């Protein structure tokens, strides 16, 4: 009898395995066909990036985007809500217009920084001056400070070349290329030493200029590529801060340097909105057999607002939304719950995801896996085991089932080491939840689109995004169907060679629940 029961169990096991293999094959075929023949990525990208635009935390467009995502998920039959976790200083960008008016007329390429104070409607016209070329000490700088009253002040080092290094390397002689790099190092060192003599850090300088009566601050945060600058937030509250392209900034700087007393007119329209709520958009496809366990598809929803936040992180957002749409269509009754987390205020310190982890311990404690996407438009090329000792066992098992034309691009590192920051996967890793960054090919991300004025729809490579959609959809299905629970066992971290002490696993942190209101 025992032998008969054993035989029956073996037969049932093989039948079940065959059925699952057939279901898996059908699912993967459906995913591949839907991803490549009926993709919604381009339309999602258009609606999010062109119609809504950048999603600065605290802006009205951030709330518009959250509401848009809710509508999309509901249209797909997916349960969803905007979950408030805090508040932020509300601010909306308006028109920025910057013109050189003396010694000649020229419209300058630039914009106000996030949270910049507005100018009067007609703008502010004033002379532009440089910082002192030779600052001996803080006393001398303090004596100079009153001269900024009523003027715009140039605070960035002028670049000697607007050509990126790869352009020099291709066309310059080796000697000329090396000379340019040496000159730049020497100039940067001299600039920083001179600024240090003022007694102010670069972060505190702006406040000193504002207090001394400057009418505005002019910078150029070049991103080492043709026509591209990084656009962050202002450090002062009462006067506008504008960023000008390397080319125009250099021209204005040279005019001032040569005693031509250039004047510019700045119109910086913006609107303070008071205290605005901050949200995460959370969508759920409920599990049928193990609903308490979940797979989380993670991407931050917010962006800086120099461009439209296309590759940081519109791409991650629409990828996870498209994955959810496809899963709902072809896998509507998953064994485990599938959660999509579109996090708010990642750019200011992973605030949305940290708050979610803090507020939802039961979900985090029962996570099967988290897949996070947040580094540009390229196809997934690397996955790090994040220090989970047995990450190879389950990630490797799932990856082996992914079609070879997708998986062949991916290099894996097991068990890897835990990330303490950088993107929202870190919020979950710190809580010991198996979480993995789906790291992508560069596509000149850091120079040309990361936090820049050129991070726009046209930089998206949709073929690569489709690759990622198929990969994550299939991995999510396999994680949901896996009969085994993923292991949370961690590696023993190495000794820090500098301190001689053993490294520690990153500690969980709460998100900032009240930002920009000081």
**pLDDT tens string 252-288:** 999 999 999 999 999 999 999 999 999 999 999 999 9
Confidence band (pLDDT; 50, 70, 90) for 518?
A: confident
185 alpha-carbon distance from chain centroid: 29
- What burial class does residue 494 get, using C-beta atoms within 10 Å of its C-beta: 0-12 exposed, 13-18 middle, 19+ buried? exposed
Task: Residue 208: name the closest of 132, 293, 321 by CA.
Answer: 132
pTM for the full model?
Answer: 0.94
| pLDDT at residue 9 greater than cutoff 60 | no
Confidence band (pLDDT; 50, 70, 90) for 80?
A: very high
Do residues 228 and 456 touch, judged by C-beta distance below 8 A? Answer: no
Task: Residue 33: name the closest of 457, 403, 409, 376 by CA.
Answer: 403
- What burial class does residue 92 get, using C-beta atoms within 10 Å of its C-beta: 0-12 exposed, 13-18 middle, 19+ buried? middle
Confidence band (pLDDT; 50, 70, 90) for 20?
A: confident
The domains of the chain, with CATH numbers, are 33-90+275-481 (3.40.630.10), 104-261 (3.50.30.30)
Q: Report percent pLDDT > 70 for the chain.
A: 96
Q: How do strand 222-225 and strand 228-229 relate by DSSP bridges?
A: antiparallel
- What burial class does residue 459 get, using C-beta atoms within 10 Å of its C-beta: 0-12 exposed, 13-18 middle, 19+ buried? buried
pLDDT score at 439 = 97
Do residues 293 and 337 touch, judged by C-beta distance below 8 A? Answer: yes
Residues 295-316 have pLDDT tens digits of 999 999 999 999 999 999 999 9
pLDDT score at 498 = 87
pLDDT mean over 60-80: 98
Q: Which residues touch 256 (CB under 8 Å, ≥6 apart)?
A: 128, 129, 130, 154, 262
Residues 354-393 have pLDDT tens digits of 999 999 999 999 999 999 999 999 999 999 999 999 999 9
Residues 143-171 have pLDDT tens digits of 999 999 999 999 999 999 999 999 999 99
Greater confidence, 242 or 19? Answer: 242
Phi, psi of 76 (to 5 degrees): -90, 0
Q: For the chain, what is the mean pLDDT?
A: 96
| pLDDT at residue 1 greater than cutoff 70 | no
| pLDDT at residue 14 greater than cutoff 90 | no
| pLDDT at residue 12 greater than cutoff 60 | no
Phi, psi of 295 (to 5 degrees): -110, 130
R_g of the chain, CA atoms, integer Å: 26
């Amino acid at each position: 009898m025992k032998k008969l029961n054993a035989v029956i169990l073996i037969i049932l096991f093989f039948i079940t395995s065959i059925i699952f293999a057939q279901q898996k094959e059908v699912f993967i075929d459906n995913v591949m066909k839907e991803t490549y023949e009926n993709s919604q990525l381009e339309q999602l990208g258009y609606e999010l990036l062109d119609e809504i635009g950048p999603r600065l935390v605290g802006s009205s467009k951030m709330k518009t985007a959250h509401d848009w995502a809710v509508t999309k998920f509901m249209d797909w039959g997916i349960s969803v809500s905007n979950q408030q976790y805090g508040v932020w200083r509300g601010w909306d960008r308006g028109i920025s217009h910057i013109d050189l008016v003396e010694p000649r007329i020229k419209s300058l390429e630039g914009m106000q920084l996030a949270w910049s104070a507005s100018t009067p409607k007609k703008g502010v016209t004033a002379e532009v001056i440089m910082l002192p070329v030779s600052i001996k000490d803080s006393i001398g700088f303090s004596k100079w400070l009153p001269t900024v009253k009523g003027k715009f002040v140039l605070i960035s080092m002028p670049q000697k070349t607007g050509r990126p290094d790869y352009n020099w390397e291709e066309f310059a002689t080796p000697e000329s290329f090396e000379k340019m790099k040496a000159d730049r190092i020497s100039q940067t060192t001299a600039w920083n030493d001179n600024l240090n003599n003022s007694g102010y850090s670069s972060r505190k300088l702006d406040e000193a200029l504002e207090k001394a009566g400057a009418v505005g601050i002019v910078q150029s945060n070049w991103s080492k590529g043709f026509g591209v600058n990084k656009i962050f937030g202002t450090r002062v509250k009462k006067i506008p801060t504008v960023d000008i392209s390397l080319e125009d900034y250099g021209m204005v700087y040279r005019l001032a340097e040569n005693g031509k007393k250039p004047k510019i007119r700045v119109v910086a329209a913006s609107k303070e909105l008071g205290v605005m709520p901050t949200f995460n958009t959370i969508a759920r496809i409920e599990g049928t057999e193990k609903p308490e366990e979940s797979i989380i598809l993670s991407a931050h929803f917010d962006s800086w607002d120099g461009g439209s936040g296309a590759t940081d992180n519109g791409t991650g957002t629409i990828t996870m939304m498209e994955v959810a749409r496809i899963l709902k269509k072809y896998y509507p009754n998953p064994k485990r719950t599938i959660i999509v987390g579109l996090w708010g205020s990642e750019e200011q310190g992973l605030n949305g995801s940290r708050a979610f982890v803090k507020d939802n311990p039961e979900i985090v404690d029962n996570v099967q896996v988290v897949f996070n996407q947040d580094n540009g438009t390229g196809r997934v090329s690397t996955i790090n085991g994040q220090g989970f000792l047995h990450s190879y066992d389950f990630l490797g098992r799932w990856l082996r089932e992914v079609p070879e034309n997708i998986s062949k691009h991916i290099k894996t590192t097991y068990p890897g080491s835990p990330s303490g920051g950088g993107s929202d996967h870190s919020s979950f890793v710190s809580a010991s939840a198996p979480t993995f960054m789906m790291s992508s090919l560069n596509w000149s991300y850091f120079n040309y689109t990361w936090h820049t004025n050129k991070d726009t729809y046209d930089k998206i490579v949709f073929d690569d995004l489709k690759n990622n959609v198929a990969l994550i959809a299939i991995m999510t299905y396999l994680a949901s169907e896996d009969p085994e629970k993923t292991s949370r066992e961690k590696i023993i971290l190495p000794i820090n060679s500098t301190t001689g002490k053993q490294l520690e696993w990153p500690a969980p942190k709460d998100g900032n629940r009240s930002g920009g209101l000081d």
